[in-house]
Structure 1
Amino acid sequence: MQTVTLWRPTGPQELALVEASGWKEWPPRLPDQPIFYPVLNEDYATRIARDWNVKASGVGYVTRFAVEKAFLSRYEVQQAGGHTILEYWIPAEDLAEFNRHIVGTIDVIAEYRS
């Protein structure tokens, strides 16, 4: 099975929910969060965690995880800015299925604090 490595910048509340899942899944989106945005490179995730999550909550984390490539093929990569600002837009209603296609665990690879 082929996988795609993805990253996700996150704050402490979301990370606590990931930890409560046994590091296996992302929590359901809140009503004002219709899209789940995993990103395709560590640098982009780092910039968001460091520059946005730290400002919002005092700490930002970069996570890394793998997803089955065949599952991800139903979604297009979105360019959200410059040529390295790449992400998937997973509708909130697809997140439970997305979680079932995570291979292994969601790992914290960096932490940033104010």
Structure 2
Amino acid sequence: MATVTLWRPTGPQELALVEASGWREWPPRLPGQPVFYPVLNEDYATRIARDWNVKASGVGYVTRFEIEEEFLDRYKVHQVGGQTILEYWIPAENLPDFNRHIVGRIEVVAEYR
């Protein structure tokens, strides 16, 4: 089975929920968060974690995970800035299905304070 590597910048509250899941799934979106945004490269995730999450909560994490390529093919890649500013837009109601297609564990690859 082919997989795709994705990254997700996150703050401490979301990361605590990921840890509580056994590092296997992303938590449901909060009200006002209609979309889950995993990104396609570590550099973009780092910029968000370092520049946004640290300001918002004092710490930002970069996570990495694998997802089944065949499942991910249902979604379009969105370019939301420069050439490397790429992300998927997963509707909140699709997140449980998305989580079922994660392969292995979600891992923290960087922390910024």
Return the TM-score normalized by structure 1: 0.99
**In the alignment, which residue of structure 2 is the partner of 1:32?**
32
* SS of residue matched to 1:93: helix
Paired positions, count: 113
Deviation at 1:22, TM superposition (A): 0.1
* Structure-1 separation of matches of 2:16 and 2:40: 23
Identity %: 83
Could you tell me which runs of 5 or more consecutive residues in structure 2 were left unpaired when the two chains were aligned.
none
Deviations 1:26-73 (A, max 9, x none): 000011100000000000000000000000000000000000000000
Could you tell me which runs of 5 or more consecutive residues in structure 1 were left unpaired when the two chains were aligned.
none
Deviations 1:80-103 (A, max 9, x none): 100000000000000000000000
Return the TM-score normalized by structure 2: 1.00
**In the alignment, which residue of structure 1 is the partner of 2:94?**
94
* SS of residue matched to 2:13: helix
CA RMSD of aligned residues (A): 0.2
**In the alignment, which residue of structure 1 is the partner of 2:85?**
85
